[in-house]
Every structure is written in structure tokens, then in C-alpha cells.
Amino acid sequence: MNFLDIESIYPHLPIFAQNALCYGYGLKEARVRFGKAFRRKLEELTLSEHWSEGCIESYQDEKIRELIEYAYENVPYYHNLMNSLKLVPADIRGRKNLYKLPVLTKEDVRQNFDGLVSKKINKRRLILKHTSGTTGKSLHFYMQPSAVAFQWAICWRHRMRFGVERSDWHANFTGKLVVPPAQTKPPYWRWASSMQQALINMHHITPSKIKDIICFLNRYNFKFYTGYPSIIHTLAVTGKDAGLTINSPPRFVFTGAENILDYQRQDIQDYLGSILTDTYGCTEACGGASQCPEFVYHEDFEFGIMECVDPSPADKNGRIKGKIVCTGFANPAFPFIRYEVGDIGIWEDAAKMCRCGRKARMLVNVEGRIDDYVITPENRKIMRFDYIFKGTKNVKEAQIVQEKLGAVKVRIVRRPQFGVQDEDDISRQIAKWISPKLEVTFEYVNEIERGNSGKFSAVVSKIKRDAL
């Protein structure tokens, strides 16, 4: 029986059988994620994160030389590309020479899928992965099992900075349909004990079910919660609105996979009283950054290189903003070299040092997907609007949608106290901070839809970029 067969049968199975399948799936995943390769890599990472700048630079330059040489010899796409540019591996000796290669786009990957697979590795030993795609266009690629282990070692290094262990039980808030949406009676959770976690999917964090979920969370002393920030945020605001308290809150909340917004962070911390820390990464496993105990993002330099491409001039604090372009070291079987992830990053002034003592480059923030921006009448591109809602206590959740130039629609999930004054305040904030010429309309909804993967989009543009 293949995965698609199981997926179609799963919703109709009794709960004990669904738990058994969650256990079995978790056991299978744990063998790939947390085997010998994981343990070896995690041990290396706990030492390398304290390297000097010189050691970091030497390491990355060496990894680039190895990767370029391997790709030229074994990956048809890069062999042909370099030949067409009259380049040989000796021309790219380190990070400073990467500019000689063009940026790899998602469409390049789609159009050259077969040519990006290494000839040296048997495809049957690889794992086929895919991204959900923000515009409905998914991306497929292969990963080596060792790359999966490396990715999870990076994740667990971050968690261990805050004192948690692999054996600690936790609640995972997910977009996956672990509990069928049609279920109307508890339990609204499933157990994957092979991964030391309880699974709660977003579809059941609703006013009518929140009491059962909070009671469940209170019965177990989970050390930490993990998941998409928008889902954990929904738990916090729904629980608060119902007047419910989590008496056994987790010590930590680990978020990732989507950009965390300021109001989400504040609401989660206010409700749970937990320490919230975040990571940045991508499914393609070619770059990332994790927060240190000072809550500063440091590049996971062992995993890959993050370039700031097409940077804006440095601001008054010495910070630069630009496209995030990644070169991954973990997965030569399907190498992403100078891959345009689709996000915009803000890097800290290189001269500044973090109080934690780590020397890896620092990011201030990731602003969002390149496609997720509003164009103002002044022709500025605005990606973050969450600060507009900072002083508004009567908004549960909000999304900005642009369907035509010169206008935006603010989609809001209201609290009962929301009124005309709130609407006026939001309009004034947009006029003050975004553009006084921007037409603002409001739409009130019961919920803001997530994508198929469960991700939340704070800004949505429906304008065709090629028409601009």
C-alpha cells in the first residue's frame, strides 16, 4: 500500500488506528532524521557555532570549492552552464567568486529537473521532496537522507540552545490533516509517540473545540510547543477569547516555516508566558538562520551560504536589505547553487557583534516573499503591515490584499468590541506609515484561509507583475 492509498483511507479509520499510523510514520521519519548521521552532525554543530570569523570563512570557501567541483563533474545542468559561461571549477574558489554564476530561479529548477540530479547517486536512494508553492506552482527536488539528517541537526542545535532535549515531549501544531476536519467530538489530537509529540492540526482550533484542546494541553506537561506561528497564534487568541487558561504552559515555543509577525509574537507570549524563539529556513534545505539566546538570527553557516543580492543602500544603522540567495552544502545530489529563495532579508551591520559571542552573520529580519508586497501610488513596495495593528486590540487577525493598483483591502477577523473607531485608526495608520494616497477598504471574515500546506499569508498580491 502506497502513501496515497493510506492518505485516502486514513480519515475513515478508528482513532486507535490513526494513532498507530502516526506512530509508524513517525518511526519511519525518525530513522532518517535522527540516526547516526544526525547524531554525528549535531555533535559537530555544537562545536562549530563558536568558531571565529576566519574559521567560518575558510570553512565556507572550502565547501564551495568542493561543491562546484562536484557539480561540474556530476550534475549535467551545472556542467553545461559553466561550459556556456567558459568557466571551470578553478574559477570559483570561494564565496567571493560565486557572483560569476547566475542566480538559479524556481522556474530554472522546474525546467531543468532531470539535469539537476547528480549522475553519481542512484535515484532510488534519494527522497523526493516538494514545496507547496505560494502561487499554486509546487517545486519538486531530491534530497539525500544525510541532508535530511543535517537539516534536523540544525533544527535541534537551535532548540538545545534553550535547554531542551530530543527526549522531551512536546505539542506540534500543524497544517497536516492528522485529525480529519469532519470530526466533531474529541480527541482533536493524535499521538506520534515515536517522535515524542502530540499532533494538533489547525482545523480544530476553533471556538467550539478550544475548551477540549486546552483541557488536553493542561493534562500534559509538554516541555515545548512547535509549529507555524499563525497556528499557535490562533490557539492563543481563541483560548484568550474563551476565557481559558493553560495552567501547564510550555517553557518554550519554537516557531518556523513562515514569517512571524510582531502582533503574533506578542499575543503568544502574553497568553502562554513562554519564551518564544524562531528560525528561518526553506524546504529546499540550502540555507537558514536560527535565533541565539539573545533572540538574534545567526546564519547557519555550516549548512550553506546566504547572499544579499541587489541590496539597497545601507540604512543609518548600517543594515542592508536584499534578496536572499542561497548555496547549500548538504545536498550535492540535487545542488541548489545561488538559488533565489523568494524572500527579502535584512542583514545587520557586519561590524556589529552579538552579545552571545557567536560570529556567524546576523539577520535582523526576513520581510517576506518577493511576491507578497503592496505597490503604493508612490511606486514603493511594502511587505510588512503588522505594525499597523500594534495599537488595535480588537483585531484577532488581519490580511492585506491588493487586487488593483492604488488600493488595498484589509481583511479582518474582528473581536466583538471592534467598531468604526478601529476602522478609522487602521486607515489613519496606513495613511501615515504606508501612503496617504492609498485607497483602503475593509472586509470582515470569520477566518483567514490558509494555503494547502497550512501557511498563513499576511500580504497577498493579485496583480500580475508582468503587466506592470
Q: Which residue stretches of 143-194 are H helix? A: 145-160
Average pLDDT over residues 152-170: 96
Read off the pLDDT of residues 52-97 as tens digits, 9 standing for 90 and up: 999 999 999 999 999 999 999 999 999 999 999 999 999 999 999 9
Q: What nine digits make up the cell of 325?
A: 540567495
Q: Write the secondary structure of 186-243 as one string of H (helix), E (strand) and C (coil).
A: CCCCEEEHHHCEEEEEHHHCCCCCHHHHHHHHHHCCCCEEEECHHHHHHHHHHHHHCC
- Model confidence at 209: pLDDT above 90: yes
Contacts of 457 (CB under 8 A, 6+ apart): 134, 372, 399, 451
Read off the pLDDT of residues 29-41 as tens digits, 9 standing for 90 and up: 999 999 999 999 9
Among residues 83, 143, 139, 146, the alpha carbon closest in space to that of 112 is found at 139
Average pLDDT over residues 358-378: 83
Read off the pLDDT of residues 394-448 as tens digits, 9 standing for 90 and up: 888 888 999 999 999 999 989 888 999 999 989 988 888 888 899 999 999 988 8
125 DSSP 8-state letter: G
Q: Are the beta carbons of 48 and 302 closer than 8 angstroms?
A: yes
Beta pairing, strands 395-402 & 459-461? parallel
3 pLDDT band, cuts 50/70/90, is very low
In whole angstroms, what is the distance from residue 213 CA to residue 370 CA?
36
Read off the pLDDT of residues 110-129 as tens digits, 9 standing for 90 and up: 899 999 999 999 999 999 99
Average pLDDT over residues 339-351: 92
In whole angstroms, what is the distance from residue 374 CA to residue 404 CA?
10
**Average model confidence (pLDDT) across the chain:** 90
Q: What is the pLDDT of residue 134?
A: 45
Q: What is the pLDDT of residue 433?
A: 80
Beta pairing, strands 197-201 & 190-192? antiparallel
Radius of gyration of the chain (CA): 23
Cut 0.85: pTM above it: no
- Model confidence at 468: pLDDT above 90: no
- Percent of the chain surpassing pLDDT 70: 93
Q: What is the pLDDT of residue 264?
A: 87
Q: What is the pLDDT of residue 253?
A: 97
3-state percent breakdown (helix, strand, coil) of the chain, nearest 5:
35, 25, 40
Q: Are the beta carbons of 420 and 450 closer than 8 angstroms?
A: no
Q: What is the pLDDT of residue 461?
A: 86
Contacts of 144 (CB under 8 A, 6+ apart): 121, 125, 126, 127, 330, 331, 332, 333
- Model confidence at 449: pLDDT above 50: yes
First and final C-alpha spacing in the chain? 49
Which domains does the chain show, CATH number per domain?
A: 3-369 (3.40.50.12780), 374-467 (3.30.300.30)
- Model confidence at 136: pLDDT above 60: no
Q: What is the pLDDT of residue 5?
A: 52
Q: Are the beta carbons of 377 and 438 closer than 8 angstroms?
A: yes
Q: What is the pLDDT of residue 279?
A: 95
Q: What nine digits make up the cell of 274?
A: 513562554
- Model confidence at 275: pLDDT above 90: yes
Q: Which of 41-45, 200-204, 206-210 is the most confident on average?
A: 41-45
